[in-house]
Structure formats: structure tokens, C-alpha cells
Amino acid sequence: MRTCVGCRRRAEQTALLRVVASDHTDPVPGWSVVPDPRRRRPGRGAYVHLTPECVTAATTRGAFGRALRRAGRPDTTALEALLGQSD
């Protein structure tokens, strides 16, 4: 069982998408939330339902930053692109 950082409901690990933080410097320094569907990327991970509501809630509340222990607002374009494919 894992907890979704967006809606804070518990669900089976297979029902949630694992995401990790990735540093980037292009075009500006910062970090982004990267999907990890195979659950193999190194580093601290967080889990979120693959729904627009949960991703938006996690971004708005700053839950990705707290769960991944990062400061600032993340770039979520990779996660949003995956959401667009799943529609």
C-alpha cells in the first residue's frame, strides 16, 4: 500500500505511478518530476494516481516538493505529457 501525494488516499502500489525528482539546468536551473513506471530509477520516490486531479492537487499543495525533499516548484511537463497519452 502507498499513499497518493495528490489526494492522500491509500492504494495498491500497482494502481499508482511512481515519480522521482530529476535536476536540470536548461533553460533555467531547477528540478522536474519524472515518471518512473518501471519503478527502477534511483532516488527518493513519490506515488500519485495518474489522473489530472491528483497531479494538479499535488502540484498546487507543494506535495511533490515535500515528498521528494526538494525546494521550489517542480517542472511537471513530463508527467503532464504522460497524462495526455493516457486519455
d(CA 1, CA 19): 16
d(CA 62, CA 42): 22
Domain ranges of the chain: 2-49+61-81
Q: What is the share, in percent, of the chain residues with pLDDT greater than 70?
A: 93
Residue 86 pLDDT > 70: no
Using alpha carbons, select from 60, 50, 54, 59 the residue that is nearest to residue 84: 50
d(CA 53, CA 17): 14
Taking only the tens place, the pLDDT of each residue in 4-43 is 999 999 999 999 999 999 987 677 678 999 999 999 999 9
Model pTM score: 0.88
Q: Within 10 Å of residue 50's Cβ, how many Cβ atoms? A: 17
